[in-house]
Structure 1
């Protein structure tokens, strides 16, 4: 699975269609995010991404992301 880095520009599919943004944090250990426990590891990290259009921050696994 492709690994991403902080600063990478990525795209993901949301309920409202495709969204683009920049990775602002990479999580490699389990973390509580917006009231939910997110399972993360070095082999399967999750990424916080800030939307280009709205500044909203979302967290996704790498398999949901495409590097631009």
Structure 2
């Protein structure tokens, strides 16, 4: 099971560009379409939409890819 986060949490993750941080803006507990792709999510393994701190980019990740930041 992955980490659990909530809307408003400040998190970090690795991207192709290096370490990125942002704020969770949505929690998905069922499959959803994002940027033309179906992302798999469930109540036991949710996915999170995160808005980058430095840009307006929105990313979708499972909790295992994220870490809570202070």
TM norm structure 2: 0.94
Q: Does 2:21 match 1:20?
A: yes
Task: State how many pairs are aligned.
Answer: 68
Runs of 4+ in 1 over 6 A off after TM superposition: none
- What are structure 2's unaligned runs of at least 5 residues? none
Q: Tell me how large the CA RMSD over aligned residues is.
A: 0.6
Question: Deviations along 1:6-49, whole A, 9 cap, x unmatched?
Answer: 00000000000000000000000000111001110000000000
Q: Unmatched 5+ residue regions in structure 1?
A: none
TM-score normalised according to structure 1 size: 0.97
SS of 1:48's equivalent? strand
